[in-house]
Amino acid sequence: VDPHKNQRDSAHLLPSIKFLWETYRAVLDILKSNSKLEHVYHAAAVGALKFCRVYRRRTEFRRLCDMLRIHLGNLQKYGNVLSTGDDNAKPSNKVRGWEGWTTDSIELHLQTRFAQLETASVLHLYTEGFRTV
């Protein structure tokens, strides 16, 4: 076994892994509040979770969990805020591109949370699993 071969392989592999992580992060950040591309957002989230599981990326998994938690919190907090004033006021979204909660969007969020919980258990990050629930 050549130790220099491992160094050469990791020198080529690590930039690719970092690029893939940054790509997942950017896609999730761009699509976080777009109702029409919600399926793409959740597919990217599941892909990022699979990435963390396959490459055993514990730090990236923690960051991903934080990011998903923040995105969900923002949708809950700012997604369906009623405008103040008269009783006939319609809901106004402070989150651009977000059309509100539907049964499909709730189901997608739950599926993503279950995938996140499964990944936390595979990576033995039980604290993150507890925060997911």
pLDDT at site 24: 97
Return the pLDDT at 82. Answer: 46
The confidence score (pLDDT) of residue 83 equals 44
pTM of the predicted structure, to 2 decimals: 0.81
Rounded to whole angstroms, the Cα distance separating 52 from 58 reads 7
Contact 74, 95 (CB under 8 A): yes
How do the pLDDT tens digits run along the chain, 133 residues long?
667 777 767 777 888 999 999 999 999 999 998 889 999 999 999 999 999 999 999 999 999 999 999 999 988 888 764 444 444 545 555 677 788 888 999 999 999 999 999 999 999 999 999 998 8
Please check whether residue 68 is in contact with residue 45, taking contact to mean a CB–CB distance below 8 angstroms.
yes
